[in-house]
Amino acid sequence: MRVLKFGGTSVGNADAFGQVAKIVASARQQDGQVVVVTSAMSGVTDILINAAKAAAAGDRRPYREARDELMAKHQMVAGQLIGDGVERAALGRLFEARLAAFERLCRSVEVLGELTARGLDVISGVGERLAAPLLAAVLRAHGVAAEWVDASELIVTTNLFGSADPIMEPTTLHVRGRLGPLLSGGIVPVITGFVGATAEGISTTLGRGGSDYSAAILGAALDADEVQIWTDVDGIMTADPRIVPDARTIPEMSYIEAAELAFYGAKVLHPKTILPAVERGIALRVLNTFAPDHPGTLVVKEPKASKDVAKAISVIKGLCMVTVEGRGMLGVPGIAARTFTAVARAGANVLMISQSSSEQSISFVIRESERDAVVVQLQAEMAQELASRHIDQVRPLDGIVIVAIVGAAMKGTPGIAARIFGALGDAEINVIAIAQGSSECNISLVIAHGDADEAVRKIHAAFQLNRANGTGEA
């Protein structure tokens, strides 16, 4: 059994829907049992979120325009690909009902003048609830028996709105109970990605890009042989091809390598996707919807041996490094704990930590958008120490990026850091901070934003990542 997830660009227009139908039909011929997970059509979730935010600000025009735009967008696909008039009419009624509910929600947000996380989850999941029935109908029009299923019936989550986590035991029971009969009857379930529900039935979402996570959760619940992530690139690449034109697709990589790349900005996989796959030992495969014959990238526990020491380079932009520093921090217990408690109160996610050996400073990297809230919380937490000069300052540094070099084979291989810093030194690129985990699978560097692209190109060239099975020797 395989779970096939299709991203927003894979269902971006009528031609893309048609291509997906061909891929699903082919998968069914190869493997009788196939489950499909779909994202919203490309751009739809942003339209929904922006309309909801505008409603909270008292502007009703965007959500009314969104209703009309989304109706036309989905009707266009139905009109081009579904010949059965009865099927099209039924879809039209479903679209009308979904979008009318969306409009009512936005009207409530407008009246209240507040957009709660819970309300945003309901609104932002509308796109998947439009795409799934549409894709199921397109599959039927292509001769594939299909039925759409709302993931809120299947995936039981925590109530952390905006980024809920699955509760696997009840999820597994629901998935097998609901999808088992469909699969046994030769029907392809088409599941809404991104969304779930609490045990009480309250709608949640799994975080932006969470349809990947949905597919992995379903794959784990069904003990699938493989979860396929269909996107608009040929797999996971050695670097962003927009930065490094000769970047290549990585044939195989480990779970830990893929997880590191996802965390450090590679957008092919949702960062949480790896977790359910690891627990059940399920292979992940990243494939290109528009080049289905390309083998893509296979993600497994133990990939085939490769001479490549570094596998890929990723970069996260739009960051800020915050430094808490002071001579009075030396030997004082609890400073780090208080620092990151304050960061947690600000609701920020720490991407990297670096501490001086003298214990006189702690630096960490967050999103620029989180800077002000973090600084306020830190200054409040350390008010006494700042007043007594035990801590000199809480200092934010904007305009920085993290460049991450990832490869499981870096562990125990001498000369890796020398090669990285040699390449950056030749390019006269200054390294602001460094971090390396005990796994030695990742080396992360903080550098200035303006140096990011050149740094990626130089490191990519230093490890000869443009060549398949490069020497990787230090």
Q: How confident is the model at residue 357 (pLDDT cuts 50, 70, 90)?
A: low
Give mean pLDDT, residues 360-374: 94
* Domain ranges, residue 138: 2-300
Q: Is the pLDDT of residue 382 over 70?
A: yes
Domain boundary residue, one of 260, 278, 300: 300
Q: How confident is the model at residue 438 (pLDDT cuts 50, 70, 90)?
A: low
Q: Is the dihedral of CA 212, 37, 247, 240 positive or negative?
A: negative
Same domain, 338 and 240: no
Q: What's residue 305's pLDDT? A: 74
Q: What's residue 414's pLDDT? A: 85
Q: What's residue 474's pLDDT? A: 32
Q: What's residue 473's pLDDT? A: 37
Residue at 468 is within a domain: no
Residue at 474 is within a domain: no
Same domain, 288 and 228: yes
Here the tokens at position 22 are: 């061909």
Same domain, 75 and 166: yes
Give mean pLDDT, residues 290-313: 90
Give mean pLDDT, residues 317-339: 86
- Other beta carbons less than 10 A from residue 336's beta carbon: 16
Q: What's residue 409's pLDDT? A: 84
Same domain, 30 and 123: yes
Give mean pLDDT, residues 410-438: 89
Give mean pLDDT, residues 247-251: 94
- Pairing outcome for strands 393-406 and 312-325: antiparallel
- Other beta carbons less than 10 A from residue 258's beta carbon: 29
Q: How confident is the model at residue 470 (pLDDT cuts 50, 70, 90)?
A: very low
Q: How confident is the model at residue 389 (pLDDT cuts 50, 70, 90)?
A: confident
Same domain, 354 and 258: no
Residue at 200 is within a domain: yes
Give mean pLDDT, residues 246-264: 90
Computed over every residue of the chain, the mean pLDDT equals 92
Q: What's residue 358's pLDDT? A: 61
Whole-angstrom distance, CA of residue 207 vs CA of residue 195: 9
Same domain, 276 and 423: no
Same domain, 320 and 255: no
Give mean pLDDT, residues 45-52: 97
Closest by Cα among 204, 140, 147, 131 to 171: 204
Residue at 358 is within a domain: yes
Domain boundary residue, one of 236, 265, 300: 300
Domain boundary residue, one of 300, 332, 352: 300
Q: How confident is the model at residue 371 (pLDDT cuts 50, 70, 90)?
A: very high
CATH number at residue 186: 3.40.1160.10
Q: What's residue 267's pLDDT? A: 73
- 77 neighbors 13 (Cβ within 8 angstroms): yes
> 383: Cβ–Cβ under 8 A, 6 or more apart, which residues?
none
Same domain, 334 and 282: no
- In the chain, how many domains are there? 2
Whole-angstrom distance, CA of residue 26 vs CA of residue 308: 34
Phi, psi of 97 (to 5 degrees): -65, -45
Lowest mean pLDDT among 14-18, 157-161, 252-256: 252-256
Residue at 124 is within a domain: yes
Q: Is the pLDDT of residue 259 over 80?
A: yes
Here the tokens at position 429 are: 């690129």
Share of the chain above pLDDT 70, in %: 97
Residue at 472 is within a domain: no
pTM above 0.85, yes or no: yes
- Pairing outcome for strands 252-254 and 195-197: unpaired
Same domain, 165 and 277: yes
Q: Is the pLDDT of residue 446 over 90?
A: yes
> 164: Cβ–Cβ under 8 A, 6 or more apart, which residues?
157, 158, 196, 198, 204, 205, 206, 207
pLDDT in tens, 117-128: 999 999 999 999
Same domain, 257 and 331: no
Q: Is the pLDDT of residue 167 over 90?
A: yes
Residue at 471 is within a domain: no
Give mean pLDDT, residues 309-324: 93
CATH number at residue 418: 3.30.2130.10
Whole-angstrom distance, CA of residue 167 vs CA of residue 79: 39
Residue at 451 is within a domain: yes
> 15: Cβ–Cβ under 8 A, 6 or more apart, which residues?
none
Q: Is the pLDDT of residue 471 over 50?
A: no
Length of the chain: 474
pLDDT in tens, 168-205: 999 999 999 999 999 999 999 999 999 999 999 999 99
> 94: Cβ–Cβ under 8 A, 6 or more apart, which residues?
133
Whole-angstrom distance, CA of residue 174 vs CA of residue 221: 9
Q: How confident is the model at residue 435 (pLDDT cuts 50, 70, 90)?
A: confident
Give mean pLDDT, residues 330-346: 88
Q: For residue 312, what are the β-bridge partners?
A: 406
Q: For residue 227, what are the β-bridge partners?
A: 3, 284
Same domain, 113 and 213: yes
Same domain, 285 and 320: no
Whole-angstrom distance, CA of residue 277 vs CA of residue 126: 27
Q: Is the pLDDT of residue 99 over 50?
A: yes
> 465: Cβ–Cβ under 8 A, 6 or more apart, which residues?
238, 239, 247, 248, 308, 310, 311, 312, 313
Q: At what angle do helices 452-462 and 416-426 cross, to 10 degrees?
A: 130
